[in-house]
């Protein structure tokens, strides 16, 4: 294995770790958002209910906006190519970086039985 192969292997391994961590972060964010919606729904039939000092509708919308902002901030901060460091866009299942074209997944591993 030469130096270029080592570099490709390093990028593939770093992308696999990044993808796993990013997937976990997305699932956790969705779970928090779901819990937020369940809590809001549990209080929705009651008059004059507030969450965190805000009217219920504002609290729900604020939670959704906050989740969207956190998701966007996470994506822009961490969803970056291990080789070129640029933002990779909104697709989790890519095999190559859309910016620099470096291979991100171990295609040989996928084709083996």
Positions touching Zn ion (CB under 5 A) are: 81, 83-84, 97, 99-100
To Zn ion, the closest distance from the beta carbon of 108 in angstroms equals 20
User: Which C-beta is closer to Zn ion: that of 99 or that of 103?
Assistant: 99
If we measure between CA atoms, which residue out of 74, 72, 44 comes closest to residue 59? 44
To Zn ion, the closest distance from the beta carbon of 82 in angstroms equals 8
Check if the beta carbon of residue 46 is closer than 8 Å to that of residue 65.
Answer: no
User: Which C-beta is closer to Zn ion: that of 15 or that of 36?
Assistant: 15
Nearest-angstrom CA–CA distance, 83 and 31: 31
What Rg value do the Cα atoms of the chain yield, rounded? 20
User: Which C-beta is closer to Zn ion: that of 29 or that of 79?
Assistant: 79
To Zn ion, the closest distance from the beta carbon of 20 in angstroms equals 18
Work out the number of other CB atoms within 10 angstroms of the CB of residue 112.
Answer: 7
């Amino acid at each position: 294995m030469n130096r270029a192969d080592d570099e490709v292997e390093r990028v593939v391994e770093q992308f696999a770790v990044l993808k796993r961590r990013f997937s976990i972060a997305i699932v956790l964010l969705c779970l928090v958002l779901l819990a937020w919606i369940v809590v809001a729904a549990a209080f929705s039939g009651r008059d004059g209910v507030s969450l965190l000092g805000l009217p219920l509708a504002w609290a729900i919308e604020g939670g959704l906006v906050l989740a969207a902002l956190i998701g966007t901030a996470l994506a822009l901060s961490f969803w970056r190519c291990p080789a070129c460091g640029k933002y990779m866009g909104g697709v989790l299942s890519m095999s190559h970086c859309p910016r620099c074209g470096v291979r991100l997944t171990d295609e040989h591993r996928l084709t083996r039985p």
